[in-house]
Structure 1
Amino acid sequence: MQTLKLLFVLLLISFEARAKDVQECEEIAAGSHICREIESFQQLNGYVQEDWRSVKVINEHTGIESGGTKALPALSRLLHLDLSESGGLTLGDRGLRDFTQLEGLNLTHCQLEELQEEHFPRNSSLRSLDVSYNDIQLITGKVMDRMPRLVYANFSNNLVAEVEINAFKGLRKLEFLDLTTNEQENVTLGENANLRYLSISNNNVRDFRWCRLRGVPNLEELHLHSNWLENLDMGLFFATPRLRVLNVSNNNLYEIKANLFAAANERAVPLQLLDYSSNNVKVLEDLVFVKLTNLRTLNLWLNQINRIHPRAFQGLSALESLQLQGNKISALPDEVFSMLTSLERLDLSRNKIKQLGASIFGGTLLRQLTHLNLSHNNMMELHPLAFSGVPHLRELRLRGNKLTVLDLRMFAPLRRLQLLTIGENRLEEIEGDILETFGNLSHLEINNNRLSYLSSLQTSEYLLQLRHIRIEGNPWQCLCLDEITAWLDKRQVGYARPSSAYYSGRKPLCVVTPMEQCLRDLEAVRAHGLVESYEQI
């Protein structure tokens, strides 16, 4: 009897222990589980059941180690293993060899210093390997040869200073290789005929020769941003004739040469996105992009561009987005944008442009252009016909210039305009005829000008679609401001911003005048010195 009691107690303890173990692993979807506080692969092997396919280990108080020399057959059932939150991984003699069927392996943040060939099963089934955010210094061919089916490889955010020549040659299915944020000075990839995406960004590369890419003829995306490149030699598209994306931003490049885009048999190159931003380019020569007839996006912001030749953008008939903000452009040649018939977005903000002439868009209607940004320049003058070639604009940004007057002819063609920012200028008046053209405008910014009144809104049909307006920072006559805010409130147009100094009482919203009604005569306003009075408050 005593023996039976003892046996019962042992069975109960075993059952409770097993129940506790089951609680450590929970199913989150069919075949997918999260296991917590797993210290070893042996322990994990004890949990894995026949129908398990995916496991993520989450440890808060321990790391995980492979350890032991015995085979762990249950682990071969898993197709996906995520140890990114395991607290660190120690690979012993058997490494990951028991995971013979793994297709996806995530070892990010595992404190790994190296990968050895004996860590992986021969002829591994891996298709996706992520070992980012570790301390790996070397990538060898012997390790990579264990993964012949690999499609995706992420080695970013390590300390990789060397990649053995032809380390990826045997990976005939590899399409994606990320080596971002490592310590490479020279790129020695060797051959990989199927590679489509390659990033060697944020390394220490100073000299990059396109001949080093001859082994990757099917490459479609190349990212080299945030290195120390000072020049790019010709031949890129001889080595990579299918390249669609080239990112060389945030380097020390001083020029863009037309021969960079030379291709075999004088054919047009397939490039669709070119990012040359955050470099030191000063001049855009004529015909520099003429070979890029398929280009959709051209990023040139934050360079030192101070001169654009009249035919610099010739050939870019497919271009949809041109980013030129943050340069030193002071003048734009006539018709400089006239050939960009597919252009949708043009950003010229934060330059030194002094005036906008009548012909920068030429005689061609740019029917696709919907977004134009000219904010934060030095413009004192806009030609009345400056926007006549862009009648389909939906957003026009002119904030932060030195404009003193608006002409009806500027806005008459812009009947589709939905957003207009003309705040932070020197406007004293906006005529009613101009407001009348804003029939589709939903967002208007006229803040921080020298406006003291607007045309009477009470009986007008102005701004019927307006939903938001910024008006603060102007020397409004208080009577005029009362009329404006009453009209805005009636139309349920948003204008007050509680966080603004003007609406919190720290700065004045208007000027009290002795007049009994809103004065709408600019000369009379000037005679009363309302602007000066406001600026002295």
Structure 2
Amino acid sequence: MEIFGTTLYLFLNLIIVTYASTPLCLLCPCNSQPNKPPNINCVNSNVSDILEKKFWIDDFNKSYAIQSLIYKHNDLKNLTTKFPLSNLTILDLSDNVIKEVGDGVFSGLQNMEQLILANNDIHHIKPEAFRGIYDKNEYFPLKSLRILDVSYNKIHTLHADTFEHIDELETLILKNNPFKFIDSQTLSAIASLVYLKELDISYTQLQNLPEYFMHTPKYLRILDLSGNNFTKIPSALGESHALEILYFNNNPLQYLAKSNAFPKIPMLRILHLSHMPLLERLCEYSLSQLCNLEELHVNYNAKLSTINSRAFLISNHEERHILLKKIFINNNNLSYLERGTLDMKNIENIDIKENPWSCDCLNQWLIDEVISVYLRIDEEAAKHLRCVKPTDMENKTLYDMHSQNKTMRCLRFYESSVESTWLLIGVVSGVLIGIAFAMFAVYIYRIKILNFGNFNYPAYSRV
């Protein structure tokens, strides 16, 4: 009965709020629409006693209406005092120095939908940190919380029951924590979030994903694995049920081929493979299992020089292109894009700028087909697309050649470029000079040996 009474009291206090301004608005900027709760911005403020009751409860014991509170850069160290009752929906405590999150500190924030604890000094999160209030159907839930951000902390592992009070979480951001690997406890914690839709575990020093990692979260739509140490595509991705968007940027993958390609991810629509420091080539059938891929970002890869003409083909009984609608391959090291690499009929958006394109007959289809589609999508960028080589074509635009219906010549080996010729001369000269030095060294050595053999020792007497 006592528990029921407490629950009823909390419920009534959450419903009965006053739209009178909280005293916090005298100390921090507040903005709101008419008859709407204020958004309070206490960034780098002088409010050190943010949890004092006077800022949250009025003289009639009613909660002040607050939409959101941003309390960043305020040297908040320990979060062990409970927040007073409030109907706020967003709480941002990032960029403080929080080390400890006490039991049930957020239990009075039953309307809170988003909690941001990023960029603090948190090493461990106890399950009781998110303990809410009694509910006969759930286990002391913090029932409205849907987004939790604990990025940029020092978390190595999660307790298996970390999310037992917030098991309806939809977005979990663990970015920039030193996990290094997903242990069984962490795997259990994440698996408990059956309604999870978005997971960010980028920059967590991971090298692989455990088996069945994607099996339980059947609603997971967005996964960010960027900035880790993956040298191959995790096979666990093949267990995904609803994955639509995958970020795999900035991983040390050198190439993608059929042998190390993505597993079958039937729902995947958008893939990011950008800022890959070692990526050199996309080989044939490297994306063949992603049959429903619509949008591909493979840009800002300084070493990417080759995309095989079959890279975007589905390898079945009858080969066909992945029906890409948007492709971004700008800011790479591409000189050639073979005819037929893309099915231009389906392209709705494309970006190929900032590549060292070679304007010769092997790229004629860029002039004939690609540039016309590019002009329709982004005329400004298309008109500034320039040749980088050969030397006599340098800085000429593909647009000019397209508009003049020009046919680019085929390069023979000796006329490919002045730079190539000089490079060949340099290499041959270096080899010849090296041989000459070696022969000279052998000659000198043999002269010394001969002189040593003919050396006349002076005679001397033993007497």
Q: TM > 0.5 between the two?
A: yes
RMSD of the TM alignment (CA)? 4.0
**Maintained 8 Å contact 2:274/2:299:** yes
User: 2:423 & 2:177 partners in 1: Cα distance?
Assistant: 41
> How many angstroms does 1:416 deviate by?
2.8
> How many angstroms does 1:232 deviate by?
1.7
**1:137 and 2:38 correspond:** no
> How many angstroms does 1:297 deviate by?
1.9
Name the SS of the counterpart of 1:466 in structure 2. Answer: helix
**Maintained 8 Å contact 1:253/1:281:** yes
Correspondent of 2:20 among 103, 106, 117: 103
User: 1:209 & 1:487 partners in 2: Cα distance?
Assistant: 68
User: 2:207 & 2:73 partners in 1: Cα distance?
Assistant: 32
* Per-residue CA distance 1:244-290 (angstroms, 9 max, x = gap): 111111222223454423x27xxx92111111123222223474522
Q: 1:273 to 1:312 in 2, by over 3 A?
A: same
User: 2:129 & 2:371 partners in 1: Cα distance?
Assistant: 52
Correspondent of 2:329 among 417, 421, 431: 421
Look up the match of 1:520.
410
Name the SS of the counterpart of 2:373 in structure 1. Answer: coil
Any gaps of 5 or more consecutive residues in structure 1? 1-100, 113-124, 154-174, 492-515
* Per-residue CA distance 1:349-375 (angstroms, 9 max, x = gap): 222122335465423422x42342333
Name the SS of the counterpart of 1:298 in structure 2. Answer: strand
**1:302 and 2:302 correspond:** no
User: 1:109 & 1:190 partners in 2: Cα distance?
Assistant: 20
The 5 A counterparts of 1:233-382 are 233-235=126-128, 239=132, 240-242=141-143, 243-261=145-163, 263=164, 269-285=167-183, 287-288=187-188, 289-334=190-235, 336-358=236-258, 361-366=262-267, 368-382=268-282
Q: 1:389 to 1:341 in 2, by over 3 A?
A: farther
Structure 2 counterpart of 1:141, one-letter code? K
- The structure showing larger relative contact order (alpha-carbon pairs under 8 Å, at least 6 residues apart) is 2
> How many angstroms does 1:224 deviate by?
1.1
TM-score by length of 1: 0.58
| Percentage identity across paired residues of the two chains | 16
Correspondent of 2:285 among 357, 379, 385: 385
Correspondent of 2:374 among 459, 466, 469: 466
**Maintained 8 Å contact 2:221/2:244:** yes
* Per-residue CA distance 1:202-259 (angstroms, 9 max, x = gap): 2221022444444545543222112111122234565444221111112222234544
User: 1:379 & 1:129 partners in 2: Cα distance?
Assistant: 45
Q: 1:127 to 1:325 in 2, by over 3 A?
A: closer
Look up the match of 1:495.
none
Correspondent of 1:185 among 77, 101, 104: 77
Name the SS of the counterpart of 1:432 in structure 2. Answer: coil
State the number of aligned residues: 370
**Maintained 8 Å contact 2:271/2:297:** yes
Higher helix residue share = 2
User: 1:197 & 1:216 partners in 2: Cα distance?
Assistant: 10
Bigger CA drift: 271-280 or 235-244? 235-244
* Per-residue CA distance 1:472-525 (angstroms, 9 max, x = gap): 57324535875833245579xxxxxxxxxxxxxxxxxxxxxxxx984435xx34
User: 2:300 & 2:423 partners in 1: Cα distance?
Assistant: 20
Bigger CA drift: 297-306 or 454-463? 454-463
Correspondent of 2:337 among 412, 415, 430: 430
**Maintained 8 Å contact 1:369/1:393:** yes
**Maintained 8 Å contact 2:91/2:115:** yes
User: 1:527 & 1:131 partners in 2: Cα distance?
Assistant: 65
> How many angstroms does 1:147 deviate by?
6.1
The 5 A counterparts of 1:397-416 are 397-412=298-313, 413-416=321-324
User: 1:440 & 1:129 partners in 2: Cα distance?
Assistant: 43
User: 1:371 & 1:437 partners in 2: Cα distance?
Assistant: 19
Name the SS of the counterpart of 2:399 in structure 1. Answer: helix
User: 2:283 & 2:366 partners in 1: Cα distance?
Assistant: 31
Any gaps of 5 or more consecutive residues in structure 2? 1-17, 30-34, 133-140, 314-320, 376-380, 425-463
> How many angstroms does 1:415 deviate by?
2.9
User: 1:232 & 1:466 partners in 2: Cα distance?
Assistant: 50
Name the SS of the counterpart of 1:351 in structure 2. Answer: coil
Q: 1:354 to 1:459 in 2, by over 3 A?
A: closer
TM-score by length of 2: 0.66
**Maintained 8 Å contact 2:261/2:287:** no
User: 1:518 & 1:235 partners in 2: Cα distance?
Assistant: 69
Look up the match of 1:152.
65
